Copies of this chain bind each other. A is one copy, B any other.
Amino acid sequence: MSSHPRHFIRMRDWSDEHIHALLETAAAVKANRKMNPIAAGKSLAMIMFDASLRTKVSFEIAAYELGAGCSLIHPGKGSWNLETELGVVMDSDKAEHLKEAIQVLSTYVDAIGIRAFPGLVDMETDREDRLMHLAAQYSAKPVINLESSWEHPCQGLADWLTLKEHFQGNTTGKKFVLSWVAHPRALPMSVPNTTLEMAARAGMEVVVACPPEMELHPEWVAQMGAEAGKRGGSVTVSHNQTHALEGADIVYAKGWSGPVLYKSPEFDIMIREREMGKWTISEEKLLGTNKAQFMHCLPVRRNVIVSDEVLDGNQTLHLQQAENRLHVQKALLMHLWNLS
């Protein structure tokens, strides 16, 4: 097997072979969870531009169980605001440039995680994940995407492991519905983008269910359709949730705002208000499925995205997904540090 990429920024830069090797490591460390300080002397820094619970704690504990150190940086909250544009005259409230932060951290630690949500103003800026690639360019150490403007690949790994566990490794041809649900706030496409990629590359029959105005970026959908096709699966889009859910094996719910948000925030609000409550996943909606399991990346808004009954019931994988964050990230550190 060729060596894996140096960074973990875009899941699609990692071949299926590398991903599956990583997931096998994850399954192994999950099966035999323990303190195993093979990374003693190594350490991880996480630059958190945005809020986090699972990502922060699961990486901290993964590092700890590997014997590694961990340090958190919160720009603007205890640490300096970071400038991320190139070539600017830095006379604003941003005291430090990301270039320096990354180069300096590279001398202290052995991997740098970055969480940076999108600005939701200019789509091309968000879509290019410039901040993440700038960091990678200046980092002497592996950079880990802890959720960027456009992707959430650590979530993708955890979800992929969850599906492999649930279907005993045989995900091909299973029906995976990624259902949009109206959310009170404008949300990025990072999780649905990665979810779509993950399910497509797992060879599933993927249906993206959403209102016509909330479709994901057409190039991404087309690209992932092609990826699915290579692996015996498919990607289709449906504007009818009821129809989409028929026979589903998995219902992955998520609120997002599509490319339309960048053209008109007012229109985005209008659509979300129009659809509010209509897409919420309930026990009734699951009746038409093939005893589908519910999935969500968390945090999830109860009784907005999904009913209490579903989330508190036994037809859901959301806690398994969350737990798997720990295991896949431990495996990721092991692979990035060549310890596996």
Give residues in A with beta carbon < 8 Å to B: 34-35, 40-41, 43, 45, 48, 51-54, 56-58, 60-61, 64-65, 69, 71, 73-74, 77-80, 83, 87-91, 95-97, 99-101, 103-105, 107-109, 184, 298-304, 308, 311-312, 318-319, 322-323, 326
Contact = CB atoms under 8 A, between A and B. Distances in A.
A318 B53 CA distance: 34
A108 to B, nearest CB: 5
Nearest to A92: B184
Count of chain copies: 3
Given A34-B41, A43-B64, A299-B95, A54 B104 contact: yes
Given A87-B303, A87-B308, 13 more contacts: A34-B41, A35-B41, A53-B104, A54-B104, A58-B108, A60-B71, A61-B109, A64-B69, A97-B299, A103-B319, A103-B322, A104-B319, A108-B326
A58 to B, nearest CB: 6
Contacts of A91: 184, 301, 304
Contacts of A101: 53
A43 B162 CA distance: 24
A91 B69 CA distance: 38
B302 A104 contact: no
A43 B83 CA distance: 33
A154 B99 CA distance: 23
A322 B140 CA distance: 15
A80 B57 contact: no
B57 A100 contact: no
| Main SS class of interface, A | mixed
Contacts of A299: 80, 95-97, 100
B80 A77 contact: no
Contacts of A45: 57
A51 B65 contact: no
A312 B107 CA distance: 16
Which 3 residue pairs of A and B lie closest in terms of their CB atoms, listed nearest first? A35-B41, A96-B299, A64-B69
10 contacts: A53-B73, A60-B69, A64-B69, A74-B78, A90-B303, A95-B301, A96-B298, A104-B298, A107-B326, A108-B326
Given A89-B303, A90-B303, A104-B319, A78 B57 contact: no
A95 B69 CA distance: 29
Nearest to A45: B57
